[in-house]
Chain A
Amino acid sequence: MASDMGASYGSTLRYKSVERMKPIGKHSLLGASGEISDLQEILRYLDELILYDNMWDDGNSLGPKEVHSYLTRVMYNRRNKFNPLWNSLVLGGVKNGEKYLGTVSMIGVHFEDNHVATGFGNHLARPILRDEWKEDLSYEDGVKLLEKCMRVLLYRDRSAVNKIQIAKITEEGVSISKPYSLRTFWEFTAFRNPTVGAEGSW
């Protein structure tokens, strides 16, 4: 899973070092877009959920499918009360060798797929993933593919920030990389004198 570290306040790029992906329990990873304060609220809910799950101390644990379903219920019920949590969530994980990836929107629309995205990612990243995703992608190739998507988003989404993290979930657990920047290229000739042919410009 990949995300950048930006959190906007309307059109202002307010915070540029926000971790928008968090491990949940032993088996899952949550990634979120949208209102950060609502993400923090969701993390509190999940924290309590995992706490009670651990307190049973009985060898059973909530896997990514269960967490995804729980989040769906939370988001949908808030939507029904006309007080939504303003987030789009991505929930991924591995449990007992089974991989899981799903998404929930702020109105409770939820589904699983081999590749999911939030916000502009649906328009810019998923077409790339539809073409280039394969069942047997290696980890390194997967990272390259995600970086390709993030680069496109960086160029084209004005709320994007050039500081990203990649998260890896395996049977052993979750690891989130340190933040790093993508290499970009701006030396197109058209950028040199952008207004040279426009009317009324100098």
Chain B
Amino acid sequence: MFRNQYDTDVTTWSPAGRLFQVEYAMEAVKQGSAAIGLRSKTHVVLACVNKANSELSSHQKKIFKVDDHIGVAIAGLTADGRVLSRYMRSECINYSFTYESPLPVGRLVVQLADKAQVCTQRSWKRPFGVGLLVGGLDESGAHLYYNCPSGNYFEYQAFAIGSRSQAAKTYLERKFESFMGSSRDDLIKDALFAIKETLQGEKLKSSICTVAVLGVGEPFHILDQETVQQLINEHEIVEEEAPAEQEAAAAADQDAPPADEAPPADQGAAPMDI
């Protein structure tokens, strides 16, 4: 696109009133692997796709516990994400120490957004290249926020970021109206389905995704692989065994699940799509 003239510095406006460096930073978020979040009145679920570079290496950590009542899932430059997570943890622990009370998540995201904004207005800095899905509690219940590299933040009922997140967003757009009253387990199920949408044909296994939950009375924790695989099996097998029944039920839950297409001849032996 013809925008090379005004994109050298973050402190240079384009004639159309845009800061290209900031937009490029948001592009970096879109390149990262998917992360999704959804919330009900009392719980927030964060999930992400964890693809390792090769079978030899370990997965990159994309979900961080910030405090017992706040967690964050990132997409984009994970190094930037780690730094921001450290900042968030620091803020939470300082607030807890002074007030012996948890920092309301709404206030944390504003501080985070202000921190990101600084980097869009200094010639010697660059914007953070990471998008953060922050889930947490405050006095009015559970909340989910999305923090942009631009310094903007929005509250969401459900959201997806990263590559192929549009597929997940489409799924979430169909179901989000029921989320507020969803049970914790239904929320997790919907999260897994949304993650599956971003895989576009690949089989959903617990080894390539991470799921974390937090809620009123439930501190933030990442579900272990076994539990996740169990949940996947619970909900996937139902489809595989009776796909016709499901469609006939007309709940319009989802389209033909991609897992059905590839006959599961070799569980786990299929090479990963990078």
A binds B: yes
Bound Cα distance from A60 to B102, whole angstroms: 11
Q: Which of chain B's residues have a CB closer than 8 A to the CB of A73? A: 97-98
Pick the residue among A56, A59, A60, A66 that contacts B100 (CB under 8 A).
Answer: A66
Q: Which of chain B's residues have a CB closer than 8 A to the CB of A56? A: 106-107, 110
Bound Cα distance from A31 to B139, whole angstroms: 27
Q: Which of chain B's residues have a CB closer than 8 A to the CB of A61? A: 139
Pick the residue among A60, A63, A66, A69 that contacts B106 (CB under 8 A).
Answer: A60
Pick the residue among B99, B107, B138, B140 that contacts A66 (CB under 8 A).
Answer: B99
The answer to the question of B104 belonging to the interface, with a C-beta cut-off of 8 Å to chain A, is: yes
Does A59 contact B98, Cβ atoms closer than 8 Å?
Answer: no
Q: Which of chain A's residues have a CB closer than 8 A to the CB of B99? A: 62, 65-66, 69-70
Scan B130-170; emit 1 where CB is below 8 A from any A CB, else 0: 00000000111000000000000000000000000000000
Does A58 contact B106, Cβ atoms closer than 8 Å?
Answer: yes
Scan B71-115; emit 1 where CB is below 8 A from any A CB, else 0: 000000000000000000000000001111100101100100000
Pick the residue among A60, A65, A69 that contacts B107 (CB under 8 A).
Answer: A60
> Shortest beta-carbon distance, A62 to chain B, in Å?
7
Which B-chain residue is minimally distant from A61 (CB atoms)?
Answer: B139
Which A-chain residue is minimally distant from B99 (CB atoms)?
Answer: A66
Does B100 contact A69, Cβ atoms closer than 8 Å?
Answer: yes
Does A58 contact B100, Cβ atoms closer than 8 Å?
Answer: no
Does B100 contact A65, Cβ atoms closer than 8 Å?
Answer: yes
Best-buried of B99, B100, B104, B139 by chain A (most CB within 10 Å): B99
Bound Cα distance from A73 to B140, whole angstroms: 27
Scan A56-84; emit 1 where CB is below 8 A from any B CB, else 0: 10111111011001100100000000000
Does B104 contact A60, Cβ atoms closer than 8 Å?
Answer: yes
Which B-chain residue is minimally distant from A96 (CB atoms)?
Answer: B139
Within 8 A of B (CB), among A155-197: none
Pick the residue among B97, B101, B107 that contacts A58 (CB under 8 A).
Answer: B107
Bound Cα distance from A70 to B95, whole angstroms: 10
> Shortest beta-carbon distance, A54 to chain B, in Å?
13
Q: Which of chain A's residues have a CB closer than 8 A to the CB of B97? A: 73
Bound Cα distance from A17 to B209, whole angstroms: 68
**A residues at B contact (CB < 8 Å):** 56, 58-63, 65-66, 69-70, 73
Query: What would 14 more interface pairs be, CB under 8 Å, given A60-B106, A70-B99?
Result: A56-B106, A58-B104, A58-B107, A58-B138, A59-B106, A59-B138, A60-B140, A63-B101, A65-B101, A69-B98, A69-B99, A70-B98, A73-B97, A73-B98
Nearest 5 interchain pairs by C-beta: A66-B99, A69-B100, A60-B104, A66-B101, A60-B139
Name 8 interchain pairs, CB-CB below 8 A, sorted by A.
A56-B107, A58-B104, A58-B138, A59-B106, A60-B104, A65-B99, A66-B101, A69-B99
